[in-house]
Amino acid sequence: MADVLTSEVLADPVALTRALVDIESVSGNEKEIADAVEAALRTCAHLTVERVGHTVVARTQLGRSSRVVLAGHLDTVPIAGNFPSHPSMTAEGVELMWGCGTSDMKSGTAIALHLAITVTEPKFDVTYLFYEAEEVEAVRNGLFILSQQRPELLAADFAILLEPTYGVVEAGCQGTMRVIVSSEGKRAHSARSWLGVNAIHAAGEILARLSAYRAREVEIDGCLYREGLNAVAITGGVAGNVVPDRCEIEVNYRFAPSRSVNEALEHLVDVFHGFDVKLTDSAPGALPGLTLPPAAAFIAATGTTPAAKLGWTDVARFSALGVPALNFGPGDPNLAHKVDEHVEIVKIVESATTLRTWLSR
């Protein structure tokens, strides 16, 4: 399949997007697409290429004063009758490309590969990362594996993750946390309920606090991060004739990157004072770092006003390594993982042009 990435395809980010989309790469099945990407990159004398699992790393070694990262994942969510790709045009004359991964995020990954091949004298040294297993559990994520095995390959002054943003700079990302908040009771026969304490009834206070909660809005580098605290699941009950002695409510907290994971957990313990709070999952946010010279130059190249990333992305992995990062890509995030996933051709062209302008001397 490597031979589908011909020099003509690699020279055109739109054709390259379609070629990558037409290589099926559901998480866990990235070998074929990684082989194709690696083969294309190894033809370039200006790049040093390494591979760790099904993650391909290509780097320039030009002695520039700054190093930047362009990163895109190779995997997609499972196919849902949306493979291979196909084009169409709207009644308004907008050209579209349909297919699994068109938006999230093979259009962005294609741009990174196109630039790696065609920009031979960038004004920064550049590390291009094409990584596996972003859509599944964190321990399989190619960036996580690199951070554990080859952290030097992630070293940089600034990073751009080409996640779908519809051509807008989305800076940093929120942190995320899930906890189980539990209410306790005393089990009894429901015919003699006065002998027990109903834990589901007691959970009403947890829900009341959630309903009354007013989330913060935090401005960082001119970007407004809106926090959120929501119940996402509830579990309780023993049998149809038993007063339950325990009820558990799963709560998801999305917090501004100015808060650490520990600070976020302390906040939730305070909000649910009097109830048991058990941490089940967390990931830190990422500060935007928009005042740094490479970031400022990129924002100027886009001609847009950055917005806060209201969600979690792998920019947080770079932030944890001390590398400021932002999200920028041609796909529409609202179409990610959908059966009708597609990307506008003009967004691919515009995003490629913006990144080329930024990288070029």
Confidence (pTM) = 0.85
Q: Would you state the pLDDT for residue 254? A: 96
Q: Would you state the pLDDT for residue 301? A: 86
CA dihedral for 141, 101, 7, 63, sign (positive or negative): negative
Contact between 325 and 286 (Cβ < 8 Å): yes
Structure tokens at 77: 């969510």
Q: Would you state the pLDDT for residue 79? A: 97
Measured in degrees and rounded to the nearest 5, phi and psi for residue 233 equal: -165, 155
Q: Is the pLDDT of residue 139 over 70?
A: yes
Region 251-280 average pLDDT = 97
Per-residue b or e along 123-152, where b marks 16 or more CB atoms closer than 10 Å to that residue's CB: bbbbbbbbbbbbbeeeebbbbbbbbeeeee
Alpha carbon distance 208, 5 (integer Å): 56
Which residue is catalytic, options 22, 30, 38, 75? 75
Other C-beta atoms closer than 10 Å to the C-beta of 258 total: 15
Region 306-334 average pLDDT = 90
Q: Would you state the pLDDT for residue 148? A: 95
Q: Is the pLDDT of residue 349 over 80?
A: yes
Q: Decide: helix, strand or coil at residue 131.
A: strand
Q: Would you state the pLDDT for residue 206? A: 98
Q: Would you state the pLDDT for residue 292? A: 80
Q: Is the pLDDT of residue 7 over 80?
A: yes
**Active-site residue flag, 8:** no
Query: In the chain, what are the domain boundaries?
Result: 2-173+286-359, 175-283
Same fold, 2-173+286-359 and 175-283: no
Q: Would you state the pLDDT for residue 10? A: 97
Task: Please write the tens of the pLDDT for every residue from 180-239.
Answer: 999 999 999 999 999 999 999 999 999 999 999 999 999 988 899 999 999 999 999 999
Whether omega for the bond prior to residue 84 falls within 30 degrees of 0, making it cis, is yes
**Active-site residue flag, 32:** no
Task: Please write the tens of the pLDDT for every residue from 240-256.
Answer: 999 999 999 999 999 99
Q: Cβ-count burial of 111 within 10 angstroms (0-12 exposed, 13-18 middle, 19+ buried)?
A: buried
Other C-beta atoms closer than 10 Å to the C-beta of 257 total: 24
Q: Is the pLDDT of residue 259 over 60?
A: yes
CATH number 3.60.150.10 is the correct assignment for the domain at 175-283: no
CATH architecture under which domain 2-173+286-359 falls: 3-Layer(aba) Sandwich (3.40)
Which residue is catalytic, options 30, 38, 132, 134? 134
DSSP per-residue letters across 305-348: --EE--S--THHHHHHTT--EEE--SS-GGGTT-TT-EEEHHHH
Question: Which amino acid, one-letter code, is at 327?
Answer: N
Tokens 């190894």 -> residue: 42
Q: Is the pLDDT of residue 1 over 60?
A: no
